[in-house]
Structure 1
Amino acid sequence: FQVYGGSGGTTPPDAFWGTTDDIPPSSGVMKVKVLNRTGGAYPDSQVYWSYNGQEHSIAEQPYVDIVAAPAQRMYFYVGSPNGQYYDFIEFTTGTSSFSGNTTRVDAWGLPLAIRLHSHSGQDVQLGDAQDLFTMTRDQVFQNFQNSVPQQFKVLAQTQAPYRIIAPGSDPSFRSGGANANYFTAYANSVGVNEPTSNIFGCAGSLASNAALCAALNRHTADLPAAQQQDPSKFYGGDPANWYAKYWHDHAINHLAYGFPYDDVAGQAAYTSMDGPQWMEVAVGY
């Protein structure tokens, strides 16, 4: 298998983000500008956002004011509002702060990338890399299947063409499924007695042991403790969460939330910023 940190994680060029001079001041915490990066698959009138009780197409309203509140989500749809082709970002905002992320914990639904900019000039990009926006949707699904071991190919089939789902969500990795024992021997070898689905989902006894759950998913649980959170050691063998690895390989700076505790060792597509001014969200297909 490819070493952790593949060649796909290219940062979008400046042209991808377009002009920011047109972003108006926010009447809330910050302003969001939603970008249509579907490569011509959908016009602005068929790329939608949903947030805080509002729902509009980009053609109707490309700018969104973000309010201060905990545990928020902003959803994005292509084709039709509240349709099957959707994805979302998660964030918490204070009166002058932003903490948030893109996530692949449950599934990949659309290419999403964010660019966050502060009043002081700090600029951060997170989310899917350029290649997931330039590939066609069919190519992404096929590329995923070409990049993962046999057991994981089904993840791009179960809910296709709408989503590539996380292994913990797929029946094949649950009790009675063909891959139900995928992690069993490896987990037992390090003293963990949890079903495969709980390892992928960091559930059961692993809900309170983030470091161990991350080490199991990254196939480092059998290494000395000092090496378990070393990114150069991640995904060095089977079994591992090859679904998560794929999104890291195709993420800006190789940072992705591929499973619930993927923030261990700072690997998640997450950032915090004081004094946020605006954020662009690129929506692909």
Structure 2
Amino acid sequence: MAAFAALACFAAPAGAADFTQGMTSSGSTATIWFKSSVATTWVDIHYQVNGGPQQNLRMGYNSGAARYEQVVTGVANGNTLGYFFTYNNGAPAYDSARFTATVGGGTTTPPPAASGTICFYEHADYQGASFCGDADNSWVGATWNDRVSSVKVKSGYQVDLFDDINFGGRTLTLGADTPNLVNVNFNDIVSSFRVRQGNGSVDLPVGSGVMTIKLVNNTGGAFADNQVYWSIIGYDPSSKVLSHVDASGRLVPSALADNTAGNRLAKNGTTYSNYFNKLSDAGWVSIPKIDSGRMFISLGSPMFIKINTAGDGRLGFAGPDLNNPTDPNQDVNFEWIEFTVDNSGYHGNTTRVDQFGFPLKTRLLGKDGYDRTLGENASRAQIFADFEALPQGEFRALVQRPYRIVAPAKGQFGTGRAQGNYFASYVDQVWSRYAGTDLVFSAEAGTFRGRVIGNDFVFSKDGGPQNLYIRGKPTTQGILEASGNLASGNSQELVVQAQIAAAFNRHLLISVDPSQWSNSAAYYPAGPANYYAKFWHDHSIDGLAYGFAYDDVRSKSTLLEHPTPRGMIVTIGW
């Protein structure tokens, strides 16, 4: 007779066992048993005799023994039973580890805990069945395809997960244990993976600042390093003064005199500040803390940025103005990254809110092994070609070859332009619909209930008074640019306005239940919609993009954050 008890491998390391189990045999009959210590109301057994066909059966409950049992007949001494259980603990269901027992033999033990370079688990928090890998795998096999929910990564390594076989489709890079792939938009979709040395082996120089930013020229020879320019402008968090980061990583206060300094830039008879460095001279910089920073990147020419005095008397700067046909940057290929580095770490993103000039990828590395990359996953030529092939013809005119693709309100969707009233009929439908019925949606800030009263959309929060307003119908430009009556009022009104603006852009109002407003698969079901924004989600890693000002609503933007940043690698594509 063989009998044993074991902890389930999916139990939390510090928790009690979910069950005990074992196998007893007598003559030609074996009984596999399962005794739960949690809220179990059913148990399925999956077993094989001597590696034969797998049987999948619902186990019966033996009230006398207070356990679930399955009788297996026709066995003989020396036969091997391989089996595992599926059982519930309340609502969730779990798969156990796989066990073996020998009829008439000695005690068996469960398989050892998962061990290897990269270990994959069926459930969150490293629960359920598991397997490990030490090398690239172009397909995880039918058993594991679209089944991984958590991953453990051995120190010094990282894994690139792919949602298609042969390292295709969307990708996610992990450099540390990840207990829940739901949180990073990659649950139950892994089909292949690559294993490599972790970010500790990444060539990332270290300076005296908070973190390093390294730039990589991936333009394929279109631009040499001495034709790639970068600068960083932002605000000193201590003095609140506009400043720029020089090549040595110092935060240098800006001045109006920088427009006429000895190193000034000039174009069309006007002079400009020059905070730009060539990649050939400075390929990385160790940056200090900085508020509202922008890293400008340009190809072939530096950008022309004027230092000016803002209305409050503080220094500011005039970046590129795509609505101004005489702006000196109209014929410059440029991009930028928005970020802040403060006491809680790095917070930043690439952006398509105004335009696309060339592909960018940002790879944020943490001191704890965090490693994530976001950005476009196609070449510039492919992006231009795909955009010009959009089925929504009104958006194709946003292409302004050879320099950029502009955001809708910077092109034909601007005031007085051909598509200037693009959303007007949809707005009318929304106002009409919710004049007679309530719109109820939940967000991180609470649950909001709204109804159109007169010409205003008026909301309450969490059952409180109706005192949160969208005053009047928004315009097409207000929807696209998060402006006007979709960007006014108190902090709670701004929350409502952001949610409604995002719902307009994604065409969620009326047709999509608010319970699905966080589900990317429900977005853009029909027009009118911001197909410019949709395009960037379709052409970006993990489907994340900043296609309009409120694209961060429900965490769909390219925001990268980490409390202990080691550095960021910016890859400049073409």
TM-superposed CA distance for 1:24, in Å, is: 1.9
1:4 maps to which residue? none
Give 2:385's match in structure 1, choosing from 142, 165, 172.
142
Give 1:39's match in structure 2, choosing from 209, 220, 230.
220
Which structure has more strand as a fraction of its residues? 2
1:194 maps to which residue? 474
Distance 1:217 1:9 in 2: 24
Give 1:169's match in structure 2, choosing from 410, 418, 421.
410
Pair member with larger Rg: 2
1:118 maps to which residue? 366
Instruction: Show CA shifts across 1:199-226 (max 9, x none).
Output: 1112122223111100100011113322
Q: Which runs of 5+ in 1 are unaligned?
A: 1-6
Distance 1:205 1:89 in 2: 27
Question: 1:225-264 alignment to 2 at 5 Å?
Answer: 225-264=514-553
1:183 maps to which residue? 423
Instruction: Show CA shifts across 1:42-72 (max 9, x none).
Output: 1111112112253222211111111101110
1:267 aligns with 2:448: no
1:218 maps to which residue? 506
Report the aligned-residue RMSD. 2.3
2:394 maps to which residue? 151
Is the contact made by 1:29 and 1:95 (CA closer than 8 Å) also made in structure 2? no
- Report how many aligned residue pairs link the two structures: 269
1:108 aligns with 2:356: yes
Distance 2:200 2:359 in 1: 20
Change (3 A) 1:253 1:14: farther
Give the SS at the match of 1:147.
Answer: coil
2:483 maps to which residue? 203
TM-superposed CA distance for 1:95, in Å, is: 4.5
Change (3 A) 1:8 1:177: farther
**TM-score, normalising length from structure 2?**
0.45
Give the SS at the match of 1:264.
Answer: coil
Distance 1:36 1:19 in 2: 21
Is the contact made by 1:48 and 1:58 (CA closer than 8 Å) also made in structure 2? yes
- Report the AA paired with residue 42 of structure 1: F
TM-superposed CA distance for 1:174, in Å, is: 2.6
TM-superposed CA distance for 1:147, in Å, is: 2.4
Is the contact made by 1:257 and 1:269 (CA closer than 8 Å) also made in structure 2? yes
2:283 maps to which residue? 62
Instruction: Show CA shifts across 1:3-49 (max 9, x none).
Output: xxxx975669999xx99643221211101110001011111111121
Give the SS at the match of 2:397.
Answer: helix
Is the contact made by 1:96 and 1:276 (CA closer than 8 Å) also made in structure 2? no
Instruction: Show CA shifts across 1:96-152 (max 9, x none).
Output: 6101111101111121111010111111111112x23xxxx4442221110251110
Is the contact made by 2:200 and 2:369 (CA closer than 8 Å) also made in structure 1? no
Is the contact made by 2:347 and 2:561 (CA closer than 8 Å) also made in structure 1? yes
Distance 1:151 1:226 in 2: 31
**TM-score, normalising length from structure 1?**
0.87
Distance 1:81 1:175 in 2: 31
Distance 1:274 1:154 in 2: 41
Is the contact made by 2:245 and 2:287 (CA closer than 8 Å) also made in structure 1? no
Moved more, 36-45 or 189-198: 189-198
Which structure has more helix as a fraction of its residues? 1
Is the contact made by 2:352 and 2:546 (CA closer than 8 Å) also made in structure 1? yes
Distance 2:352 2:484 in 1: 20
Identity of matched residues, %: 39
Is the contact made by 1:77 and 1:86 (CA closer than 8 Å) also made in structure 2? yes
1:25 maps to which residue? 206
Q: Which runs of 5+ in 2 are unaligned?
A: 1-167, 174-193, 233-243, 247-275, 304-328, 432-471, 488-493
Change (3 A) 1:243 1:148: farther
Question: 1:62-101 alignment to 2 at 5 Å?
Answer: 62-82=283-303, 84-95=332-343, 97-101=345-349
- Report the AA paired with residue 36 of structure 1: N
